[in-house]
């Protein structure tokens, strides 16, 4: 080899080394990292004959990463909703949950209505997000229709727009007498019951406020029994939940905020007919014939009352459970879950017995981690 050829080879080595260094240099941004990783996975999938949908998900992930980074560089916040699910004009936000928002609007310019909008989840593939949203909307609507067939009051459905993730339904307004059970219990706790306690303290100066308001105290029991309308509400809640469960409907989010009460007249009465009850928000509802699921539904309601109204939760929950058991006992249940011919154990008794087990361990049957 000549000296000239040797010098040419020696001069080419640094250049090759620079090319290798540039190829091995770490990416400067998270966007470049995502692109490199996705391209590597894509090549592996194509070599192994991977599915096209997996490649599309990877591409969407890279695009979403770039979208987020672009907005972060500009200092803007990304929008959680696509163009078709943004808040329309003329609507007022009423409530927001983990899966959607509820707006107050008008239907056909003639009556008030509420629109429940399930917003898009950016971390999901668009096709998967559309399918899940459509499925969950259909499930919620079916549960509402099934409950109405059982004679249980739910908001009247006006329209369903699965492509936009919207459910249009009746607005149970306060001006028409509808209030949440949570609101009514708060009123009793801070108004009626407080007035009763103040009058008792004035009559008996020796008794302390703690002795009167203690959970399970004689004064508390007397105050609750005196308010017959409150106990009638508890009985109505237990009876209606039993009707829901006899129809194999598990609400899934049975809290005092999702139970609406309408008082038909203003007189104090212990008759259930003086009140009307409606269930709302069937977004987590399912069909089940298991006593375990029914017991968990009751447990969620119990915990909701205990957490917000601990002062009289024990007595109120006891009345709900007694009414629940009585409703099952008096029902003409021709299903497989009716009482055995040679046994006095009713379906309601089995649910209450399962509820005791749920109370001991919590709502989760399998505890991992």
Residue 75 to residues 28, 70, 109, 271: CA-CA distances in angstroms?
Answer: 19, 9, 40, 60
According to DSSP, the residues that pair with 259 across neighbouring strands are 279
Write the DSSP assignment of 156-215 as a string of letters. PEEEEETTTTEEEEE---GGGTEEEHHHHHHHIIIIIHHHHHHHHHHH-TTS-HHHHHST
Q: Tabulate helix, strand, coil % of the chain (nearest 5).
A: 55, 15, 30
| Dihedral angle computed from the Cα positions of residues 19, 23, 26 and 31, in that order, rounded to the nearest 10 degrees | 130
Alpha carbons 234 and 184: distance in angstroms, whole number: 11
| Dihedral angle computed from the Cα positions of residues 191, 197, 200 and 202, in that order, rounded to the nearest 10 degrees | -80
10 catalytic? Reply is no
Alpha carbons 343 and 340: distance in angstroms, whole number: 5
88-102: b (≥16 Cβ within 10 Å) or e: eeebeeeeeeebbbb
| Dihedral angle computed from the Cα positions of residues 309, 315, 320 and 326, in that order, rounded to the nearest 10 degrees | 180
Q: Which of 187, 192, 253, 333 is catalytic?
A: 253
Alpha carbons 356 and 362: distance in angstroms, whole number: 10
DSSP class of residue 30 equals H
Cα 204 versus chain centre, distance: 46
Alpha carbons 369 and 154: distance in angstroms, whole number: 38
User: Which two three-digit tokens encode residue 267?
Assistant: 């007189």
Alpha carbons 213 and 208: distance in angstroms, whole number: 9
Q: Please say whether the dihedral angle defined by the alpha carbons of residues 146, 149, 151 and 157, taken in this order, is positive or negative.
A: positive
> What SS3 state is found at 100?
strand
Active-site amino acid positions? 253
């Amino acid at each position: 080899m000549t000296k000239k050829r040797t010098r040419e080879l020696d001069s080419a080595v640094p250049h090759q080394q620079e090319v290798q260094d540039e190829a091995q240099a770490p990416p400067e941004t998270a966007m470049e990292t995502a692109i490199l990783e996705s391209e590597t996975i894509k090549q592996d999938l194509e070599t192994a004959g991977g599915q096209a949908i997996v490649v599309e998900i990877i591409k969407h992930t890279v695009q979403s990463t770039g979208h987020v980074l672009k907005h972060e560089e500009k200092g803007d916040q990304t929008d959680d909703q696509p163009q078709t699910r943004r808040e329309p004009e003329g609507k007022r936000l009423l409530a927001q949950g983990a899966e959607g928002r509820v707006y107050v609007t008008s239907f056909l310019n003639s009556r008030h209505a509420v629109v429940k909008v399930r917003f898009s989840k950016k971390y999901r593939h668009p096709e998967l997000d559309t399918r899940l949203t459509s499925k969950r909307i259909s499930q919620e609507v079916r549960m509402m229709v099934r409950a109405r067939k059982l004679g249980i009051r739910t908001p009247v459905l006006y329209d369903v727009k699965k492509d936009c993730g919207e459910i249009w339904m009746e607005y149970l307004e306060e001006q028409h007498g509808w209030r949440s059970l949570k609101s009514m219990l708060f009123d009793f706790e801070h108004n009626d019951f407080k007035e009763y306690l103040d009058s008792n303290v004035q009559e008996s100066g020796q008794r302390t406020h703690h002795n009167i308001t203690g959970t399970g105290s004689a004064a508390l029991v007397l105050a609750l029994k005196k308010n017959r309308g409150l106990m009638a509400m508890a009985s109505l809640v237990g009876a209606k939940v039993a009707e829901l469960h006899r129809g194999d409907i598990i609400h899934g989010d049975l809290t005092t905020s999702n139970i609406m009460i309408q008082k038909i007249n203003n007189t104090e009465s212990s008759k259930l007919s003086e009140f009307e009850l409606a269930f709302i928000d069937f977004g987590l509802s399912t069909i089940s014939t298991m006593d375990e699921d029914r017991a968990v539904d009751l447990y969620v309601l119990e915990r909701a009352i205990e957490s917000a109204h601990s002062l009289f939760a024990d007595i109120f929950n006891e009345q709900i459970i007694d009414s629940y058991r009585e409703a099952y006992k008096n029902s003409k249940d021709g299903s497989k879950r009716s009482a055995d011919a040679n046994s006095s154990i009713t379906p309601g008794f089995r649910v209450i017995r399962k509820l005791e087990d749920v109370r001991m361990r919590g709502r989760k049957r399998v505890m991992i981690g």
